[in-house]
Amino acid sequence: MTVSARKRLQPQPPSANGRVFSSSDRRDLLTIEALPAETIIGLLDRSDEYLKSLIATGPFQKSKLLEGRTIVNLFFENSTRTRTSFELAERRLGGDAVTISPAASSLTKGESILDTVHVLEAMKVDAFVVRHSASGVPAFLAKHLPPHVHVINAGDGAHEHPTQALLDAAELRAALGNLRGKRIAIVGDITHSRVARSNMWLLKKLGVHVTLVGPETLLPPSVGEVFGVAVSHNIESVLAESDAIIALRIQLERQSRGLFPSIEEYRERYGLTIQRLARTRAIILHPGPVNVGIELDHEIASHDRSFMLRQVKRGVAVRMAVLEWIFSN
Amino acid sequence: MDLLLRNAHLVDPSLGLDATGMDVEILGGVITRIGKSLQSSAEVCDLNGAVVAPGFFDMHVHLREPGQEYKETIATGLTAAAAGGFTGICCMPNTEPSISDPFVVSYIKERAAGHLVDLVICGTMTKGRKGEELAPMAALVDAGVKMISDDGGAVRSAEVMRRVFEYAKMFDLLVTQHCEEHSMTAGAAMNEGHTSTKLGIPGWPAVAEDIIVARDILLAEYVGNVRYHAAHLSTKGSVRLVREAKGRGATVSCEVTPHHFMLTDQAVEKHGTMAKMNPPLRAEDDINAIIEGLQDGTIDCIATDHAPHAMHEKETDIVSASFGIIGLETAIPIGLTYLVKPGHLSLSQYIEKCSINPRKALKLPAVQIKEKERANLTIFDPHKTWRFEESDIRSKSKNTPFVGEEFTGKVIGTINNDHAYWSN
Ligand SMILES: [Zn+2]
């Protein structure tokens, strides 16, 4: 690590003391909200370094940074992409990685989340990477774990998905340069999206003008005011001005819950079609997995302005940078 | 029990009484003399100017017995009530089995007999709180039930609710609703607003409460001559609806909980699941409307919605955590700190909401501080600053966000049924 990078990665002063939704005297990655811009930039810089080593051909030189460290990936909610990305990052840094999906595991029969975590911690675990369907679970666990056991949020409810926002920002920065003053639209189901929330926090910290695009029924109340972003109900309004568009996955069951009338109407107003791509210079990101033909036309995935595969590659690099930072005390 | 309370500040709004430096002699549980510098053979208890008020009554308490004794029993709940300054409470019917049956009423009455705290029982409105068939109200009233509610949830069907009002009217029974339009609150874990938007937590919109308050007021007025009491109101909309209904002369009353005028939904960020209530903590302007409603008489009562839960039911994620907090032992400190100290309510207005009005709503005999009356008293120091600690809790459950909280105003003791309880 370079001297300047090390400096930027120094522990941050405790912020919101004793709060349940963030932690203070510990080194965790729970939210982007609590992460200072300097730390974010430090992590993006380090991910650039790791990305170089991932792009190079030939066998990967395993690092010894996490030698002797045990990391448990605790995925209460399944996600092949994020889970695999964390596992690879942990192993490439020389750590021991164990993945547990409590729903499918006999370990957790009748146990509470807290019981599960205490049982695992007793086996000497250095960090937990936590994915859960309810907001606040990683922070809740951090509050109940000793300070030397770190927690990394791999997505909690509709709250945050910090590593996704970091990897998106790293790719945006690689493509657009300094992000200050850039215009980025986030399109889709904002209400139920942790990706949207982490992205809003992060992009605002880096000086980006963010516009949310979605039907009123998929925008949470006062979201513009809460996050300091613009809101639009039609994708056409952002095509010309946007430097990047982040499309979100639409959960098809939202339709049966009455949140939008039909897939056809959603695609009509919010889908990134090949025709729309011609009316914007924006690069296109999507956290995946894509509902092809709904959020994005089939042809867009392979378009040269599509960043989906780069995002996946960057995901590993960003998670390596995060792990390095977590253990760099 | 013989006692001489020395140097008391007597406040009884029903008598227009507000006098300092008073002595009260209690012999055999009855107030025998009130005056200055009394001489008596009874044991002297110097109150150093503390307030003595007619005993406080909490209309909305979950005792959990029968069925969930691991959370609270009648015995531990009544002790927590006495320690918290209440000489009477009304227990809600969402026990297991629920209070839909006169046998459950007798069981509870038996378990509560002989205690300092009077226990009034609320029965269900519909059988098993299912919202479908009417509860056996005649039998429940005969067994001693004074109020009915399906608390924990609202009766969903307007048709069923109309029949509840009609049937309850025959017994002049107080009908209480937990006001929640359930079709709008599925999966909700906190108020819908800025904080839920920020945290990505499913929201419970204020309008879902207002809708049921409005529906019930309209139904009660349509049926006519029926007493309706809206439980634990939390929104500015419901305060307005009750105010308008009272303005038309409707026989409507309502209550608020201490946590709903103390905390906003931002508390979820600090306290997590300990700030998960139903109805949820709301916004600043809801608190302002509640305070106005308390001041102008729109809101009649303060009730705790004491809702004990075991730690494992709270120490989990916000979606699966149980709703509610214990409230009996923090209600008076919160009221004194957040209503009386800032001058929103005078001491006598506050005592009205906690003692006089709940008994009025339930048509219970009045409790007064005068000679020959039974001594039914709540004693508190409105100026004492102290910190609430977990070791203070007498309730069987400890689910409260207030541990470590500093309050101005502390309960000293309660006297009723020829017993005294001294909180320390
Ligand atoms: Zn209720």
| CATH assignment of the domain containing B398 | 2.30.40.10
**In a shared domain, residues B327 and B185:** yes
Domains: count for chain B: 2
pLDDT at site A109 = 60
pLDDT at site A167 = 98
In the predicted model, is pLDDT for residue A17 greater than 60? no
Do the beta carbons of residue A90 and residue A50 sit within 8 Å?
A: no
User: Could you read off the pLDDT of A70-99 as tens digits, one per residue?
Assistant: 999 999 998 899 999 999 999 999 999 999
Pairwise CA distance, residues A245 & A240, whole Å: 11
Specify burial of residue A220 (Cβ count, 10 A radius: 0-12, 13-18, 19+): buried
pLDDT at site A62 = 83
For the residues B389-397, what does the mean pLDDT come to? 97
Place of tokens 């600090």: B270
Is B201 touching A (CB cutoff 8 A)? yes
**In a shared domain, residues B77 and B11:** no
**In a shared domain, residues B68 and B196:** yes
pLDDT at site B378 = 98
pLDDT, greater one: A18 or A112:
A112
Pairwise CA distance, residues B161 & B138, whole Å: 17
pLDDT at site A108 = 56
**In a shared domain, residues B326 and B236:** yes
In the predicted model, is pLDDT for residue A1 greater than 50? no
Angle formed at CA B120 by CA B118 and CA B122, multiple of 5 degrees: 160
pLDDT band of residue B6 (cuts 50, 70, 90) is very high
pLDDT, greater one: A111 or A153:
A153
pLDDT at site A104 = 61
Pairwise CA distance, residues B376 & B415, whole Å: 5
In the predicted model, is pLDDT for residue B107 greater than 90? yes
**In a shared domain, residues B241 and B390:** no
For the residues A208-225, what does the mean pLDDT come to? 97
In the predicted model, is pLDDT for residue B343 greater than 90? yes
**In a shared domain, residues B36 and B59:** no
Structure tokens at A228: 């300091």
With beta carbons under 8 A apart, name residues in chain A contacting B197: 220-223, 226
In the predicted model, is pLDDT for residue A250 greater than 70? yes
pLDDT at site A24 = 52
Nearest CA in chain A to B312: A112
Instruction: Test B269 with A220 for CB contact under 8 angstroms.
Output: no
For the residues A264-273, what does the mean pLDDT come to? 94
pLDDT at site A105 = 62
pLDDT band of residue B71 (cuts 50, 70, 90) is very high
Domain that holds residue B187: 55-362
Q: Does B300 participate in catalysis according to the annotation? A: no
Among B118, B210, B216, B305, the active-site one is: B305
Nearest CA in chain A to B314: A112
What is the residue-wise DSSP string for A262-292?
A: -HHHHHHHH-B-HHHHTT---EEE--S---B
Task: Tell me the CA–centroid distance for residue B276 and ligand 1, in Å.
Answer: 13
Is B312 touching A (CB cutoff 8 A)? yes
Task: Tell me the CA–centroid distance for residue B151 and ligand 1, in Å.
Answer: 5
**Residues in a beta bridge with A307:** none
pLDDT at site A2 = 36
pLDDT at site A271 = 95
Instruction: Test A136 with B272 for CB contact under 8 angstroms.
Output: yes
Place of tokens 């106005």: B292
Instruction: Test B200 with A135 for CB contact under 8 angstroms.
Output: yes
User: Could you read off the pLDDT of B149-208 as tens digits, one per residue?
Assistant: 999 999 999 999 999 999 999 999 999 999 999 999 999 999 999 999 999 999 999 999
Instruction: Test A113 with B316 for CB contact under 8 angstroms.
Output: yes
With beta carbons under 8 A apart, name residues in chain A contacting B318: 134-136
User: Could you read off the pLDDT of B114-154 as tens digits, one per residue?
Assistant: 999 999 999 999 999 999 999 999 999 999 999 999 999 99
Nearest CA in chain A to B199: A159
Is B66 touching A (CB cutoff 8 A)? no
Give the CA distances from residue A138 to residues A26, A158, A170, B226, in Å, rounded to whole numbers and listed in that order: 13, 13, 23, 50
Do the beta carbons of residue B290 and residue B302 sit within 8 Å?
A: no
In the predicted model, is pLDDT for residue B110 greater than 90? yes
Please name the residue ranges forming H helices in B266-361. Answer: 267-271, 284-295, 311-314, 331-335, 347-351, 357-361
Pairwise CA distance, residues A250 & B337, whole Å: 48
A interface with B, Cβ–Cβ below 8 Å? 16, 18-21, 112-114, 132-137, 140, 144, 157-160, 192-194, 197, 220-223, 225-227
Domains by residue range for chain A, with CATH: 3-160+315-327 (3.40.50.1370), 162-311 (3.40.50.1370)
Place of tokens 């003399």: B33
Pairwise CA distance, residues A4 & B326, whole Å: 52
**In a shared domain, residues B257 and B379:** no
Instruction: Test A20 with B270 for CB contact under 8 angstroms.
Output: yes
pLDDT at site B359 = 98
Is B194 touching A (CB cutoff 8 A)? yes
With beta carbons under 8 A apart, name residues in chain A contacting B201: 135-136, 157-159
Instruction: Test A140 with B271 for CB contact under 8 angstroms.
Output: no
- Backbone dihedral angles phi then psi of residue A32, each to the nearest 5 degrees: -80, -30
User: Could you read off the pLDDT of B227-239 as tens digits, one per residue?
Assistant: 999 999 999 999 9
Question: How far from chain centre, in Å, is Cα B379?
Answer: 18
pLDDT at site A25 = 61
pLDDT at site A256 = 77
Mean pLDDT, rounded, of chain A: 89
Nearest CA in chain B to A228: B198
pLDDT at site A19 = 44
Q: Sort strands B406-416 and B30-35 into parallel, antiparallel or unpaired.
A: unpaired
**Which of B200, B271, B316 is opposite residue A197, by nearest beta carbon?**
B200
Please name the residue ranges forming H helices in chain A. Answer: 3-8, 37-55, 80-92, 113-122, 137-144, 162-176, 194-205, 223-227, 236-239, 253-256, 263-270, 274-277, 308-326
Do the beta carbons of residue A193 and residue A168 sit within 8 Å?
A: no
SS3 B255: strand
Instruction: Test A222 with B197 for CB contact under 8 angstroms.
Output: yes
**In a shared domain, residues B169 and B144:** yes
**In a shared domain, residues B215 and B333:** yes
With beta carbons under 8 A apart, name residues in chain B contacting A18: 270
Task: Tell me the CA–centroid distance for residue B277 and ligand 1, in Å.
Answer: 9
In this structure, what CATH number is given to the domain that contains residue B139? 3.20.20.140
Domain end marker among B362, B379, B414: B362
For the residues A147-171, what does the mean pLDDT come to? 97
With beta carbons under 8 A apart, name residues in chain A contacting B265: none
pLDDT band of residue A5 (cuts 50, 70, 90) is very low
**Residues in a beta bridge with B61:** B91, B306
User: Could you read off the pLDDT of B244-254 as tens digits, one per residue?
Assistant: 999 999 999 99
**Which of A113, A158, A225 is opposite residue B200, by nearest beta carbon?**
A158
Structure tokens at B391: 């070791």
Cis peptide bond prior to B66, omega within 30° of 0: yes
Provide, rounded to the nearest whole percent, the portion of chain B with pLDDT above 90. 99
Instruction: Test A20 with B194 for CB contact under 8 angstroms.
Output: no
**In a shared domain, residues B251 and B214:** yes
pLDDT band of residue B377 (cuts 50, 70, 90) is very high
Do the beta carbons of residue B409 and residue B332 sit within 8 Å?
A: yes
Q: Which of B198, B204, B270 to mutate: most A Cβ within 10 Å?
A: B198
Domain end marker among B336, B362, B388: B362
pLDDT band of residue A61 (cuts 50, 70, 90) is confident
**Residues in a beta bridge with B122:** B147
For the residues A109-127, what does the mean pLDDT come to? 88
Do the beta carbons of residue B220 and residue B251 sit within 8 Å?
A: yes
Do the beta carbons of residue B359 and residue B57 sit within 8 Å?
A: yes
**In a shared domain, residues B197 and B298:** yes
For the residues B258-269, what does the mean pLDDT come to? 98
**In a shared domain, residues B286 and B153:** yes
For the residues A194-207, what does the mean pLDDT come to? 98
Domain end marker among B321, B342, B362: B362
